[in-house]
Amino acid sequence: MRVRTSRGSGQIGYRLTRRRHDFGHPLPECNPVRTFAIWVLATLAATACIVFPPAAHAAPPAPRSGPVMQDALPLRSGARSGGTPLATLTQGELVEVRGERMDYLQVWDLARERGGYVRAGAVRTLAPTPDEAPELLALVRFLRDRSGSESLGLGVAAAYLKAAPAGTITAEAFDAMGTMAERLAWRTNVAATNAANAPVRPGEPNIAAQLEVAAGLGIHFASLERDAHVWLCYDGDAFRHVAAPAPTPEQSARAALALRRPDCIADSTPPLQRWQADR
């Protein structure tokens, strides 16, 4: 700290702060008992951390989801039959299950990003785990040849591919997906051809909604013009995966025929591309 000196000296002095050890007072001696007690406590704390490690937090459960099992399922604003319909769900659409109230499930519609309530029996709740894979594959086998349930079968097949462990997926799942997608395209063409003479019967699955569900699952269709009509064809992506996991002869033949259908080749296709498609 600066202080003034006597007047006229022209110097500035400094006042030093006194400290005890500067004037002969020794530093306080360490207490050996206190030091030993601190060492014992530190040793016990370190030993406890090794012997009793902190419990790891359990991983949060995998979110439950499931496909819609029926057509024209209303997504309601409340858990009651009189709830306001917010949207109409189609079989095969995947919804996330977030709760349960009475006979209703609280779900989140992934496609429309909207929540609501549906009847508990209208959604098959599942978790995408390896334990669910065999049951999902059995359900795919059941829906493979069930006409009118193509979008549901495609949704279950997509859930199986997500749940099955790596290295266990066979050609059966891809063969089933290709078969169902091809049949959905065929049903669309038949419905378009007979639309004028045979209107849609009550209770018949909505083909347009099923096509939308299939598109949301990554199933693509090509539109060709034939005789002033639009002809829908499956692009065959699932059949191209059949050859990878050692298919059976029947599965290989089915995939080869599906990828070389002459009615799914545009009339304007150049000869070279036709030849490449037939190879």
pTM: 0.70
User: Domains in the chain, start-ordered, CATH in brackets?
Assistant: 65-122 (2.30.30.40), 130-278 (no CATH)
Please give the distance of CA 248 from its chain centroid, rounded to a whole number.
Answer: 30
Walk along the chain (279 residues) and give the pLDDT tens digit of each residue: 554 555 555 554 545 555 554 545 555 565 777 777 777 777 777 777 676 665 555 555 556 788 899 888 999 999 988 888 999 999 989 899 999 888 899 999 988 889 999 999 899 887 778 888 999 999 999 999 998 899 999 999 998 998 898 888 889 999 999 999 999 999 998 888 776 555 555 445 688 899 999 998 899 998 888 777 788 999 999 998 887 777 888 888 888 888 777 777 766 666 656 555 555
Q: What are phi and psi of 251, to 5 degrees?
A: -65, -40
Question: Are 239 and 247 a contacting pair, CB within 8 Å?
Answer: no
Q: What are phi and psi of 246, to 5 degrees?
A: 55, 75
- At 180, is the secondary structure helix, strand, or coil? helix
Tokens (6 digits) for 268:
């304007």
d(CA 76, CA 90): 14
Residue 193 pairs in a beta bridge with none
C-alpha closest to that of 215 among 232, 239, 194, 195:
232
C-alpha closest to that of 205 among 217, 190, 219, 218:
190
